[in-house]
Chains A and B, each alone.
Chain A
Amino acid sequence: SQQGEEDPQALSIQEGENATMNCSYKTSINNLQWYRQNSGRGLVHLILIRSNEREKHSGRLRVTLDTSKKSSSLLITASRAADTASYFCATVPSGFGNEKLTFGTGTRLTIIP
């Protein structure tokens, strides 16, 4: 079964607004990552947050992690039309030497110009 579940499944906002996506997972993790996928293409890594971190920023991206609730959120500020894509969270389980990388179901983000 998939480790992560994203919410919402689809999100449409006006250009310039902020977009927030949430991810829940089931087991203890080493780190959580967010990826972006343009239609019909491979995924591109956006940001990684470790289990001992609570918040991380990268440009217009802000990620939070709450390990007590087993959840994470991705905030994209000042959205642009080029941000239209699907966004996935992925987790690596805790424990040394286990590199099983599993993905959630994704949020399809549409930015309306």
Chain B
Amino acid sequence: DGGITQSPKYLFRKEGQNVTLSCEQNLNHDAMYWYRQDPGQGLRLIYYSQIVNDFQKGDIAEGYSVSREKKESFPLTVTSAQKNPTAFYLCASTATSVSGTEAFFGQGTRLTVV
């Protein structure tokens, strides 16, 4: 089945540790995105990548890092510099067509700092 897979679904991290969230897609999409969602809030863009080996900062990139070495994969690292990392993280990908851009989402990773 084609889609986006995020892992793990739940993640616990101790303060001061880096942690990497996985996002893999087999939709052959060029663009991929990472969003953060806090309880009862909207989605805030962390990073996005429109092509392999290239990515751009979103609105809240501080304390996060990404890589895009393969088209299928866009991992997000939450570093110790992120002051309030507990949140729900969503990965998405898009395939631009003549009619527009529809995003497909993974099921999310819920990160809790303990």
State whether the Cβ of B103 lies closer than 8 Å to any Cβ in chain A: yes
Contact with A along B67-94 (1 / 0, CB 8 A): 0000000000000000000001010101
Instruction: Tell me the count of chain A residues lying within 8 A, CB to CB, of chain B.
Output: 29
> Contact: B35 with A103, CB < 8 Å?
yes
Residues of B that sit less than 8 Å from A by CB: 4, 31, 33, 35, 40-45, 48, 50, 56, 58-59, 88, 90, 92, 94, 96, 99-108, 110
Report how far A44 CA is from B44 CA in the complex, Å: 16
Contact among A30, A42, A99, A106 for B90, CB-based, below 8 A: A42
- A-B contact list, 15 entries, CB within 8 Å: A2-B59, A33-B102, A35-B103, A40-B110, A42-B92, A45-B102, A48-B99, A48-B101, A50-B99, A92-B100, A97-B50, A99-B101, A102-B59, A106-B41, A108-B40
> Contact: A2 with B44, CB < 8 Å?
yes
> Contact: A92 with B101, CB < 8 Å?
yes
